[in-house]
Structure 1
Amino acid sequence: MPYFETADGTRLSYEDYGAGAPIVFVSSWALSSDMWEYQVPFFAERGYRCVLFDRRGHGRSDRPSTGYDTDTRADDLAALIEHLDLREVTLVGHSAGGGEVARYLARHGEDRVARVAFVAAVLPFLKLTDDNPGGVPEALSEATVARFQKDRPKWFADRAQGFFATHLGNDVSPALIDLTMRQCLEASPWATTAVWREMFSADHRDALRAMTVPTLIVHGAADQSARVELTGRRTAELMPNAVYKEYPTAGHGLYVTHRDQLNADILELIKG
């Protein structure tokens, strides 16, 4: 398993498959690069280079006590891209990974990036403030933190069916759901809390308005983790030149339940 080192000496695990134009997959909060098992073979077999990494505190990467702020996590992504000297990159970010992609572009520019796909991304800004009256009160976010700090396995288990929107007929086996929950629990409890709080409070509105690279926004109408009216639709409003696709029966785990449709849409973005 290869590693690269960030500016503060943290060692992060990454994987590199295939050859051709690079696609960098940025994982969800609490999940690792293993979540992309239905995307990597699809793109590698079609002549693309697929690069994945585990953010700090997740998967096989180091578990430092610091560096979970959005700026540092975006800089970690930059360190990976620079370590491999990737250019003309397609960035694909799911959930919190979408926020890291947006902050990467705000801090490091678009020189190495050809296009972006935001998949069920927690954008543009969740927190209730005077200039974000439709946001979520911080007290509600902290109540959620308290619940998963009390019993983290139960918190994830209680949301497993909703994560995949199985109530809408999405066929996900109990074994696959169990695997996803185990992957979530592999993240350090410290990182789980720290990244959640950062994800909730990060304001990406200016970064999204400033983006000029071709962008795809994909969101599930039944997403219970990042409600579409707070995230996907608002992101699309800030980016009128982006392609916005809303999947009527998809939840947050659309990278599994709607893998064929998602892969085809990302491929269309790349070829377009």
Structure 2
Amino acid sequence: MPFVTAKDGTRLHYEDWGTGRPVVLLCSATMNSRMWEFQAPYLAGRGLRCILPDRRGFGRSDRPWNGYDYDTLADDLASLMGHLELRDATLVGYAMGGGEAVRYLARHGSDQVARLALVCSTTPYLLRAQDNPDGVDPAVLEQVTAAMAADRPRYVSEIVAPFFGGPGATADSHTVSPQLAGWITGQALDGSLRASVEITRTLLTEDLREDVRGIGLPTLIVHGDADVSAPLELCARRTAALIPGGEVVVYEGAAHGLFVTHADRLNAELLAFAGQ
């Protein structure tokens, strides 16, 4: 299996499929590269080279105690980009992967990147603050991390329905099979508890507004209007407002898991964007 070594010695696993213009697919917070089951084969089969890293702490990468802040994650990505000598790449950041992508651009520039796609991105800033009054209550962080520590399988299973079905969803109301939902749940548990807690802390507390404001690349922003994990108005709309000419492609009725529930549409959007 291919690995690249980060600055601190952490070994990071990645897949490298296909040939052509590179597309780097950055996964959601506690997921790993297997989440791109419906996107990577499609894109690689249509003339693009798909790079799928496992974030540190998850999947087949090493699970160190530290390094789950955006600066370190961006540096991990830079190690991969440099190792593969990528050029003219499209970065696709899903949920927390969007934060990873914009911090990478802020720290390392865009010499190797031509385009940015933010899908259900948690940018620019989730936490409630004086200058972000509509953000998430800080108490939610402690509630979530306590629930993870007490019974992580139960916590993950309870968020599957809203992940796929939006507000008020029940276990039977999302549009995926129980088997597929179980597969996604398994991925969310396939990481260390420490990594899951610290990634969640980073996701909620780090302010990426200045990073987003500095983006000067063609940017595709895709978001569902029923996303309770990264609300449309708090995340996609505000991200777009910070990017010159930024616009949001809204998927009506889509929750946070549109990489599964709206895979065909998302695949077509990414192929058209990355292939231009």
TM bucket normalised to smaller: over 0.9
**Distance (Å, rounded) in 2 between the aligned partners of 1:271 and 1:88:** 11
Q: How does 1:212-223 map to 2 (within 5 A)?
A: 212-223=216-227
1:217 is paired with a residue of what secondary structure? strand
Partner of 2:273: 269
Match of 2:95 in 1: 95
Distance in 2, Cα, partners of 1:270 & 1:56: 26
SS in 1 for 2:25: strand
In the aligned structure 2, how far is the partner of 1:132 from the partner of 1:163?
Answer: 24
Whether contact under 8 Å (2:225, 2:250) holds in the other structure is: yes
**Residue pairs, 1:185-200, within 5 angstroms:** 185-200=189-204
The alignment-based identity, stated in percent, is 49
Q: Which moved more, 1:136-145 or 1:151-160?
A: 136-145
Residue matched to 1:52: 52
Q: TM-score, normalised by structure 1?
A: 0.96
The alignment's TM-score, normalised by the length of structure 2, stands at 0.95
What is the aligned partner in structure 1 of residue 148 from structure 2? 148
* Cα displacement (A) at 1:240: 4.0
**1:163-222, Cα deviation, whole Å (9 max, x unpaired):** 111759653100000000011101110000001001111111111111111001111111
CA distance in 2, matches of 1:102, 1:222: 24
For 1:242 and 1:97, the matched residues in 2 are separated by 18
What is the rounded CA distance, in whole Å, between the counterparts of 1:112 and 1:39 in structure 2?
A: 22
> 1:79-119 CA deviation, whole Å, 9 max, x = no partner?
10000000101000111111000100000011110001001
* Secondary structure, counterpart of 1:37 in structure 2: helix
Task: List per-residue Cα deviations over 1:3-25 (Å, max 9, x = no partner).
Answer: 11000000010100000000000
2:24 aligns with 24
Which residues of 2 match residues 117-128 of structure 1 at below 5 A? 117-128=117-128
Return 5+ residue gaps in structure 1 as ranges. Answer: none
> Is 2:228 the partner of 1:232?
no
CA distance in structure 2 between the aligned counterparts of 1:48 and 1:174, rounded to whole angstroms = 31
Give the 3-state SS of the residue equivalent to 1:159 in structure 2. helix
- Matched with 1:43 is 43
Look up the match of 1:72: 72
> Structure 1 residue 231: deviation in Å?
0.9
Asked if 1:255 is matched to 2:249, the reply is no
Amino acid aligned to 1:18: G
How far residue 147 of structure 1 moved from its aligned partner, in angstroms, is 1.4
Unaligned runs of 5+ in 2: none
Distance 1:20 1:271 in 2: 9
* 1:83 aligned partner: 83
Which digits, 9 at most, give the CA deviation of each residue in 1:55-91, with x for residues without a partner? 1100010010011111000110111000000010100
Partner amino acid for 1:207?
Answer: D
In 2, Cα distance between equivalents of 1:187 and 1:220: 26
- Equivalent position SS for 1:206: helix
Matches of 1:204 and 1:68, distance apart in 2: 15
Runs of 4+ in 1 over 3 A off after TM superposition: 166-170
- The alpha-carbon deviation at position 226 of structure 1 amounts to 1.2
Q: CA RMSD in A?
A: 1.4
TM-aligned CA deviation for residue 127 of structure 1: 1.4
Q: 2: distance between equivalents of 1:130 and 1:224?
A: 22
